[in-house]
A = this chain, B = another copy of it.
């Protein structure tokens, strides 16, 4: 009987889920609206119904080995989602306990999205066999998962790996966390939008972005413009890569990883992000680490990456 893990990624808008085997093959996936369920009990019930429906659609018998959940502000130790700014459920949500009412005899594990991505990279992706690496997720914010000695670093409280909140400029941009100059205010989908608006203010040259409002601008539009040769978009990526490269050089001194994987929307810009990031990372690197650390695109990045990452939590603990 084929063994399958359930992978669930809880996003602010939608929750995607699927059934994944231990080689990372997806055997059915679906989604429900996260926003539609302000009542968490209703949400969990709907999620259970959706998963049951996927299982019924399988054309083979399966054994479910566990449920892996990736979500914002998730705490691995406590099995909770805590005060997530982008979710409507306020306070501390005991998501593992709630899911266990439906999945009684199998493990239910939760962690944050970036940690799930790191474990996904280790189980199915480019970090197979690596003992020391970092995954940086570049979405609305910047998340990260650090693996050392073959294990994800959760830290004392379960919230380790907040590279997005390393401060790169103490008098810099206001961050959602209430402080100033956090890396994610520069290096993220939101960060590069802010950089484009800074460049529009500083420069006079024409740009397609002069007719677009802040609210309408997306990171994808900046990537497309860079691919079309827009100098302002390319400069925005250069600046983003500079700050990311410098921050990665600093992070390397702490955990000395074999590789750093870039995951998520912004990494899709390819050379426009990777080239400046690599250039500035090496330029600012302590000499014994120089040219020793691989900078790689994620090996699981794609439409199912978040489900794969969440399901990997289960396989990693088998």
Contacts and interface: CB of A to CB of B under 8 A. Distances in A.
A70 interface: no
Contacts of A154: 149, 256
A135 interface: no
Contacts of A95: none
Interface in A281-297: 284, 286-289, 292-293
A160 B254 CA distance: 5
A151 interface: yes
Given A177-B286, A286-B177, A286-B179, A166 B132 contact: no
Closest 4 CB pairs of A and B: A155-B256, A160-B256, A156-B258, A162-B253
Given A246-B167, A250-B166, A149 B153 contact: yes
Please classify the interface of chain A as helix (H, G, I), strand (E, B), loop, or mixed, using the class held by over half of its residues.
loop
Given A132-B156, A148-B148, A157-B292, A287 B257 contact: no
A178 interface: yes
Interface string A159-178: 11111011100100000011
A207 interface: no
Given A149-B151, A167-B250, A170-B246, A160 B255 contact: yes
Contacts of A254: 144, 146, 153, 160-163, 166, 251, 254-255
Interface residues of A, number: 42
A163 B250 CA distance: 8
A130 B250 CA distance: 25
A15 B274 CA distance: 46
Interface string A245-271: 010011101111110000000000000
Contacts of A159: 256, 288-289
Contacts of A78: none
A194 interface: no
